[in-house]
Amino acid sequence: MTNLTLSIDEGLLRKARKVAFDKNTSVNAMVRGYLEKTATAESLDIEDKIKAMRAFWDKHKFTAKDVKWSRKDLYDR
């Protein structure tokens, strides 16, 4: 594991230590857990969006094999 140094307010650290003590854990473990949860949620969110996009394209397939496009049709303004 890699070490990480944070600068936080003394009062906040005191409160975090109390919460950690009450939960029988450490501030380090709480921060690690928060970062793991946040990074995993972000990763899953992106994967879900990709799956949704692929499902949309699979459902709404468009083919133009029977359409004859002319240059004028494509660039007509």
Asked if residue 54 is part of any domain, the answer here is yes
Asked if residue 2 is part of any domain, the answer here is no
pLDDT band for position 64 (50/70/90)?
low
Mean pLDDT across 16-24: 96
Asked if residue 73 is part of any domain, the answer here is no
Q: Give the domain extent around 55.
A: 10-61
What pTM was computed for the model?
A: 0.56
Asked if residue 77 is part of any domain, the answer here is no
| Assigned token pair, 22 | 């009450």
Please say if the pLDDT value at position 68 is more than 90. no
Asked if residue 45 is part of any domain, the answer here is yes
Q: How long, in residues, is the chain? A: 77
Asked if residue 75 is part of any domain, the answer here is no
Asked if residue 1 is part of any domain, the answer here is no
Asked if residue 71 is part of any domain, the answer here is no
Domain tally for the chain?
A: 1
pLDDT band for position 77 (50/70/90)?
low
| Assigned token pair, 15 | 């409160």
